[in-house]
Amino acid sequence: MALTQEERKAETRTRLLAAAADLFAEHGIEGVSVDAVAEAAGRTSGAVYAHFGSKQGLLLALLDSWQQSFLTVLFAEVAVTDEPIDQLGAVWGNIGKGSDERVRRWMLLEHELSLRAARDPDVAAILKARNQETHRRSERELAWWAHEVGSQPVAAPDQLAVLVKALLNGLAMQQRVDPRSVSDDAAVAGLAALLGLGIGSPGTASAEATGTVVVKPSEAPPTTTTTRQTTTTRQEHIS
């Protein structure tokens, strides 16, 4: 007796979800058959249907098990330096450079899901819920960061998180079309602009002419924290 049935079932479920995440990210959701997922997990398609009922069910369960947020990952390496600009560089480096293959594939999957959300209400609902949950976290991090650095962002924390994420996603998109069309400096400058960091702008020829933003230097209370209900059953998960 190696495993109880419950243990075996749980492990199978985990392996199926992991395999699905891997393959979906690598080949696109439509590019992966149920059999392929099962085989990668060391099972057969029967197990998939016993667990999830359909391929769509597998996808939805996968999304549901997805805890890691975009910005959480992004800011993982921020701490390596104290210089704000370098921190932004690290953030962009995480995405822009093909430094980490896992990040790249994960972003591909994220983008595919946002597309799918436009046509699939179930996917849209799950993505929306997850988005709201993770944004509450990242907006606190951003607000805290801005406060720490002393910058004056262009928008309130919640909207700032949206803007930063949007810019990064858009740059990643652009980079897939033409990698050389996105300069690292410009990406960092864009982030800095959103975050209200005054940088020497390259401009056309004019150099300095920096931020000098017109703001009321108000306090930015970092915690929104309304009844955090973290469903602990969910698993951390990236690739």
Partner DNA sequence: CAAGATATATAGAGTTCACTATGTAAGTCG
Partner DNA sequence: CGACTTACATAGTGAACTCTATATATCTTG
Instruction: List strand residue ranges (DSSP E) for the chain, in order.
Output: none
The entry of DNA, a second copy, none that residue 76 binds, CB within 5 to 8 Å by partner kind: none
Decide if 146 contacts 195 (C-beta within 8 A).
yes
The smaller minimum CB distance to a second copy, of residues 10 and 215, is found at 215
- Considering only residues 18, 21, 55, 74, which one is a binding residue for DNA as defined by CB under 7 A? 55
Residue 96 neighbours by CB under 8 Å, 6+ apart: 171, 172, 175, 182, 184, 187
Site residues (CB under 7 A) for DNA, limited to 177-216: none
CB of 141 to a second copy, least distance (A): 14
Binding of DNA by 65 (CB under 7 A):
no
The entry of DNA, a second copy, none that residue 1 binds, CB within 5 to 8 Å by partner kind: DNA
Residue 100 neighbours by CB under 8 Å, 6+ apart: 94
- Considering only residues 28, 46, 179, 200, which one is a binding residue for DNA as defined by CB under 7 A? 46
Binding of a second copy by 96 (CB under 8 A):
no
Q: Distance between CA atoms of 175 and 235, rounded to whole angstroms? A: 30
Q: Distance between CA atoms of 42 and 118, rounded to whole angstroms? A: 33
Q: Distance between CA atoms of 121 and 125, rounded to whole angstroms? A: 6
CB of 57 to DNA, least distance (A): 7
Binding of a second copy by 4 (CB under 8 A):
no
The entry of a second copy, DNA, none that residue 144 binds, CB within 5 to 8 Å by partner kind: none
Binding of a second copy by 216 (CB under 8 A):
yes
Binding of a second copy by 177 (CB under 8 A):
yes
- Collapsing DSSP to helix, strand or coil, 51 comes out as helix
Binding of a second copy by 114 (CB under 8 A):
yes
CB of 89 to DNA, least distance (A): 40
**What phi-psi label fits residue 226: left (phi over 0), alpha (psi between -120 and 50 degrees) or beta?**
beta
Binding of DNA by 9 (CB under 7 A):
yes
Decide if 160 contacts 153 (C-beta within 8 A).
yes
Binding of DNA by 221 (CB under 7 A):
no
Binding of a second copy by 154 (CB under 8 A):
yes
